[in-house]
Amino acid sequence: MTTQEDTKNPLGPGYDVAGSEMRYRDSFNKTLRDELNRDPDVFLMGEDIAGGAGRFDEDGKPLDAWGGPFAATKGLIQDFGPDRIKDTPISEAGFLGAAIGSALTGLRPVVDLMYFDFVTVAYDQLLSNAAKSRYMFAGQTKVPLTMFARSGGGTGHAAQHSESFYSMLAHIPGLKVVVPSDAYSVRGLLSAAIRDDDPVFVVSDKKLINLSGFVPDENFAIELGKGRYLRKGSDVTLVGMSYTSVLCKEAAEKLAEEGIDCEVVDLLSLSPLDESILIESVSKTNRLIVVDEDTPRCSMASEVAAIVADQAFDYLDAPIKRVTGPHTPVPYNKALETAFMPDSNEIIIATKKLLDL
């Protein structure tokens, strides 16, 4: 058995649970495997998710597949076969439409859209069919569809493979959007998404994929629509989402060495959005900085700032600050890409400025 003290168990102090350190990518893969075993109606679709499965050994079994460019589905084709692990053509609108149809008829498809930028290719299916069908049929049908893709810059994938515009998805009524920030939360949120009866989009930042953290052995789900505290504090609230939650925690730990006590809120879910945790935290710290890798116009940082300004204005002792990417595409040039990305040092500077230090 492992405990909070020796594994940084995210379940909290005193909660004794069996588990181990695991990379984000491995936690993701393990969750897919567990959900495929748990429910025979679950199946996967996407480009190259069973790549390599066209090669067979002398016994006729498929050779080890690479599981796409991020290895999210590595090895699944061997255990579940092509009926449940389906390679698709390069047609996001086509195969997402097929997945929506299968969800409407009772299956639970899980769709890999590879890079987050490719959401735009299938946006009509997402907006007009996945998100609206349950409403337009007056609740007489369900759309138990899970989608996932990799977002974020900082990895040299250039402007067309580095977007973080999850606010475009959170804007759509009927679609749930979650943003795991570590190996623990991706396991719980992905499980919850696959079991949910509404369409859910799981956004995974590419910078998280090889980071490790404690993951319980048990199969569990995290309630959709709830944020969490990564650190309690009293001087200022730092709000992050996906990889920016990692940056907020890094900044908070560095600021603590200088006697500045930051509270860190990890949103985990963008739609539904946990407004109560935002108000609760700001009512205590009286200051707010929101960190979002997306560009600033109509971003989640803007939405969080608006909610707090509307519901907790009287608690604020200083203006709300946003730390975001600039209003430009993500550059390919390494030096420019580094300048584009929010980092912990930028959060530290914003915090000290807010506290007049």
Q: What's the CATH number where 58 sits?
A: 3.40.50.970
Specify whether 233 is located in the same domain as 319: yes
Let me know whether 277 and 187 are in one domain: no
Domain termination site, one of 171, 195, 216? 216
What is the predicted pLDDT for the residue at 233? 97
Total number of domains constituting the chain: 2
Residue 16 has pLDDT above 80, yes or no: no
Contact between 117 and 160 (Cβ < 8 Å): yes
Q: Quick one: 79 and 171 in the same domain?
A: yes
129 occurs within a structural domain: yes
Residue 159 in any domain: the answer is: yes
Same domain, 212 and 237: no
Residue 13 lies in a domain: yes
pLDDT at position 18: 85
Angle between helix 300-311 and helix 275-285 axes, rounded to 10 deg: 60
Interval 91-115 mean pLDDT: 96
User: In terms of domains, do 186 and 241 share one?
Assistant: no
The whole-angstrom separation of Cα 268 and Cα 263 is: 16
Tell me: do 257 and 157 sit in the same domain. no
Judge residue 111's burial from the number of C-beta atoms within 10 Å of its C-beta, 0-12 exposed, 13-18 middle, 19 or more buried: buried
b/e string for 271-287 if b means 16 or more Cβ within 10 A?
Answer: bebbbebbebbbeebbb
Question: By residue range, what is the domain housing residue 232?
Answer: 228-354
Residues 301 and 269: beta-carbon distance below 8 Å: no
Give CA–CA dist 145/295, Å, rounded. 28
Q: Tell me whether residue 223 is in a domain.
A: no
Proportion of the chain above pLDDT 70, given as a percent: 91
Q: Of 157, 181, 216, which residue sits at a domain end?
A: 216
Residues 6+ apart with CB under 8 A from 279: 308, 311, 312, 315
Do 212 and 241 lie in a common domain? no
Q: How confident is the model at residue 59 (pLDDT cuts 50, 70, 90)?
A: low
196 lies in the same domain as 245: no
What does pLDDT average to over the chain? 91
Backbone angles phi, psi at 185, to 5 degrees: -70, -30
Q: Write the CB contacts of 334 (distance below 8 Å, at least 6 apart in sequence).
A: 156
**291-311 tens-digit pLDDT:** 999 999 999 999 999 999 999
* Domain match, 160 and 298 both: no
Q: Which of 168, 191, 216 is the last residue in one of the domains?
A: 216
CATH number (domain holding residue 302): 3.40.50.920
- Tell me what pLDDT residue 69 has: 77
How many Å apart are CA 340 and CA 345, to the nearest integer? 13
Q: Are residues 58 and 161 in the same domain?
A: yes
Whether residue 222 lies inside any domain: the answer is no
pLDDT, residue 61, reads: 59
Does the pTM of the predicted model rise above 0.85?
yes
Q: Which amino acids are annotated catalytic? A: 92, 161
Rounded to whole angstroms, the Cα distance separating 19 from 349 reads 37
Average pLDDT of the segment spanning 182-187: 97
Are 92 and 201 part of one and the same domain?
yes
Q: What per-residue confidence (pLDDT) applies to 67?
A: 77
Point out the least confidently predicted range of 59-63, 85-89, 201-205, 267-271. 59-63
Angstrom distances, CA of residue 243 to CA of 199, 200, 268, 275, 355: 23, 19, 11, 20, 24
Please check the confidence at residue 72 and state whether its pLDDT lies above 90: no
221 found inside a domain: no
- Claim to verify: residue 183 and residue 258 sit in the same structural domain: no
